Amino acid sequence: MKRRIVSDSSANMLAWKGMDFDSVPLKIIAGEREYVDDARLDLTGMLDYLSDYKGKSGTSCPNVADWLDAFQGADEIFALTITSSLSGSYAMAVQAQEEYKKLHPEAKVMVLDTLSTGPEMVLIMEKIQELTEAGQSFEETEAAVREYSHHTHLFFALESMKNLANNGRVSHTVAALAGLLSIRALGVASEEGTLQMLHNGRGWKRTFRAIIEELEKYGFTGGKLRIAHCQNPSAAEELAEQITRHFGKCDLSIHPCTALCSFYAERGGLMVGFEGA
Ligand code: X90
């Protein structure tokens, strides 16, 4: 029996220790150029190119065949996707699930619309691994993971929402307000899996304070927390320090964004996934 986690690349994890894993890449398209969100990508090169690029740029989700390829050879699959309200990734994964079950009627496939992305997906992956190591069956793991995902959340603090607005993922009004009223706006992945703004901070100091306040409101009590950053390790570390000061020592770690989240979160952006109420 081979159990595998398959996630789209919006989770910022191209490899995974301790469990069979595959990442299905999204793509960033700028004119003639196409950047595949996998381990071969030169991320700094992509961000540099995009910052000078004046044309239209966008992204595309994996297709059914991409998901199917990643499922091959596994009997129990836990597939995680970015929120279906912002991407077609979930719809493609569901089609792949149907195809795979036709080809392998004995296989078990769970597809979870995480209603989120990035570091919240990482927490869900860690939960799947934990349940697998504890010897839980496919059905037990699926039920526990669905339940767990109702108690994890995602905040994001971005320096720019230009790419989100230009690609219709947030309204131009919200993006303009965030940009005008503040240097860094703080938002949350809503229960429906859409972007919702919470605060207009001014500079990182106020943004960090707002994050701590919101962590409390969302029921974080010093459990697990994962920070992803787009080329901004110093802000991620400073935030981690303040969280630890406020909540005491918690299970916290920091990792960089890969291409898809870097494109939308843009240079400087932070994403925070955590266990709450
Ligand atoms: O299918 C595609 O082309 C991908 C579209 C992805 C759109 C949004 C990605 C956002 C990544 C920005 C902050 C987090 C927002 C989370 C809201 C649920 C990172």
* Residue 241: φ, ψ to 5°: -65, -45
> d(Cα 228, Cα 19) in Å, to the nearest integer?
21
C-beta neighbour count of 128 within 10 angstroms: 25
The helix (H) or strand (E) run that includes residue 221 is none
Q: Are 81 and 111 in contact (CB under 8 A)?
A: yes
Atom 8 in ligand 1: which residue has the minimum CA distance? Answer: 86
Atom 9 in ligand 1: which residue has the minimum CA distance? Answer: 264
Residue 163 CA to ligand 1 center (angstroms) comes to 10
Structure pTM?
A: 0.97
DSSP conformation letters of 265-277: H-TT-EEEEEE--
For the stretch 155-205, pLDDT in tens is: 999 988 889 988 999 888 777 777 665 567 899 999 999 999 898 767 889
Q: Which residue has the tokens 């961000």?
A: 47
| Residues in contact with 179: Cβ distance below 8 Å, sequence separation at least 6, in sequence order | 160, 161, 185
> d(Cα 120, Cα 128) in Å, to the nearest integer?
13
235 lines ligand 1 (CB under 6 A): no
Average pLDDT by stretches of 10, the chain with 277 residues: 97 96 98 97 97 95 98 98 98 98 98 98 98 98 98 95 90 74 80 91 87 98 98 98 97 98 96 98
Residue 12 CA to ligand 1 center (angstroms) comes to 12
CA distances from 198 to 95, 167, 178, 211 (A): 35, 21, 10, 10
